[in-house]
Structure 1
Amino acid sequence: MNIAVILAGGSGSRVGGDKPKQFLRVAGKMIIEHTIEAFHINPRIDEIAIVSREDYLEEVKEMVSNNGYSKVKHVLCGGKERYHSSLAAISTCRNNDDRLLLHDCVRPLVTQRIINDCLDALDRYEAVDVAVPTTDTIIETAPDGRIVRIPSRNSLRNVQTPQGFRCGTIRRAFELALQDPDFMPTDDCSVVFRYLPDTPIFVVEGDPMNIKVTYRDDLKTVEEHILGRTR
């Protein structure tokens, strides 16, 4: 089965407002609705699981019912850290060969091409990331603020989501990670990279518009893009 996991447990304080950013409205719908619909309309996605904040679980369930999102089979409670949300979704996976696409809820502009490319890549690989070439020079600094390394931009990428996995692979990676007292994940691919180092992670080409809503100005960018697609 191809299962999309919408990670909607964040607080989004940098955007402002009285609600987490995934529940703010752009182009007539909440961000979470735009994101769910991107996966719901894809004919290759069999199921959708949503991982939400505990205090918004009932609102999410009501939204799913009102919109008739028939592919949504699970509305789950996340945890304090992002990886707790990933673990909640992984725990519902029934078959180690199922394919999971874990996606940040606040990336509502994910394209059908990216989703399909991730699923295609999971036919050949056990782990898949999405990334775009970095456009800025990246520097590495010492604790005292000195530059110690300037890596070539040719090999650098900015990571996006979804990140895709065979269920058995990401489950095993987390089992090993949770035994490590120094476990400090940045995202799900980093867990596979560190704890299953012999597992190749294929990189799917992302899209510059597959942005993560972080600041208030991002809301305007998303709205303009959505309205432009519907005209």
Structure 2
Amino acid sequence: MKETFPFVTAIVVAAGGSTRMGGEVSKQLLPIAGMPVIGRTLSAFEAAGCIDDVVVVAREEDLLDIYDIIRSFGFEKVSQVVRGGATRQQSVAMGVQNARPETTHLAIHDGARPLVSVQVIGDVVACALEHRAAATGVRVKDTLKQVSDAGVIEYTPDRSHLWMVHTPQVFEKRLYQRAMDAAQEAREDFTDDCQLVERMGGIPVHMCEGSYENIKITTPEDLPIAEALLLRCQQGEGL
């Protein structure tokens, strides 16, 4: 029998404007191999044993479509679908406000990362349960350059210490709430949840090695890449 403590609520943020996709339909609703992006995202959290509840945060104009997707695929863990705010941070705040009272930890995830695996979710949640704050990510493969506004290379950082951060990013709820309140009081807005906790200081955020397949759907070119990765998964070679 699953213990009642801890209680992990996933906040799936799907309230972005999808401006870089270039179309009128939200990227969350676009199909990948016959299933909407948000549907594939939710299916991973539905299957993850460490996740107890799911709150979806979406654009107002997408709410009915997302309700239909949840019903069509029978996602039982989704307890609420709520309207997002003007920024990502505000949207996450809406999700946190609607999390069930017994929630002890928050797993915040981009709705546009539909290839997240149950393994990745489980690993980063386990890391956060031990350390209070954790994010999934992957080591940088390419050499990175810091470039000036004039287009001149200024600095080459040591990539052995550089990671690309993904989601889920998982936090003890009380810790995240304090960090969010502090940022709001300072009128600061972040696009990355780890930054909230980093800014507050005192609690290190641990990095948990994830998967290069956990891509974010941002531009039209990402859709065929995601479909190819799914095909490889179906052939037993990944995810």
| TM-score computed with the length of structure 1 as normaliser | 0.93
Deviations 1:177-200 (A, max 9, x none): 11113x1313111011012x1111
Task: Tell whether 2:234 aligns with 1:230.
Answer: yes
Task: Show structure 1 runs of 5+ residues with no match.
Answer: none
- Residues 132 and 159 of structure 1 are in contact (CA less than 8 Å); yes or no, is this contact kept in structure 2? yes
Match of residue 212, structure 1, among 212, 216, 225: 216
Aligned to 2:74: 68
Partner of residue 126, structure 2: 120
Query: What is the alpha-carbon distance in structure 1 between the residues aligned to residue 158 and residue 234 of structure 2?
Result: 39
Kindly tell me: are residues 89 and 3 of structure 1, through their superposed partners in 2, closer, same or farther at Cα, counting changes over 3 Å? same
In structure 1, the partner of 2:4 is: none
* Aligned: 1:168 with 2:179: no
Opposite residue 131 of structure 1, the aligned amino acid is G
* Contact 2:12 2:110 survives alignment (8 Å): yes
Shift of 1:142: 3.8
Determine if contact 1:140/1:148 at 8 Å carries over to the other structure.
Answer: yes
- Asked whether 1:9 is paired with 2:15, we answer yes
Q: Deviations over 1:16-54 (max 9, x none)?
A: 332011110111110100000011011221111100001
Do the aligned partners of 2:89 and 2:189 also contact (CA within 8 Å) in 1? no
Counterpart Cα distance in 2 of 1:4 and 1:121 = 15
Aligned counterpart, 1:193? 198
- Give, in whole Å, the separation in 1 of the partners of 2:223 and 2:148: 35
3-state SS, counterpart of residue 74 of structure 1: strand
Distance 1:12 1:90, change over 3 A: same
Q: CA deviation at 1:97?
A: 6.1
Aligned residues between the structures: 229
Residue pair 2:10, 2:109 contacting (<8 A) in 1 also: yes
Indicate the RMSD between aligned Cα atoms, in angstroms. 1.6
Contact 1:139 1:151 in 2 (8 A): yes
Identity level (%): 32
Distance across 1 between alignment mates of 2:81 and 2:147: 42
Matched, 1:57 2:63: yes
1:184 partner amino acid: D
- What is the SS of the residue equivalent to 1:101? strand
Q: Assess if the C-alpha contact under 8 Å between 2:15 and 2:59 holds in 1.
A: yes
Judge conservation of contact 1:95–1:168 (CA < 8 Å) in 2: no
Task: Name the CA distance, whole Å, in 1 between partners of 2:167 and 2:17.
Answer: 18
Scaled by the length of structure 2, the TM-score of the pair is 0.90
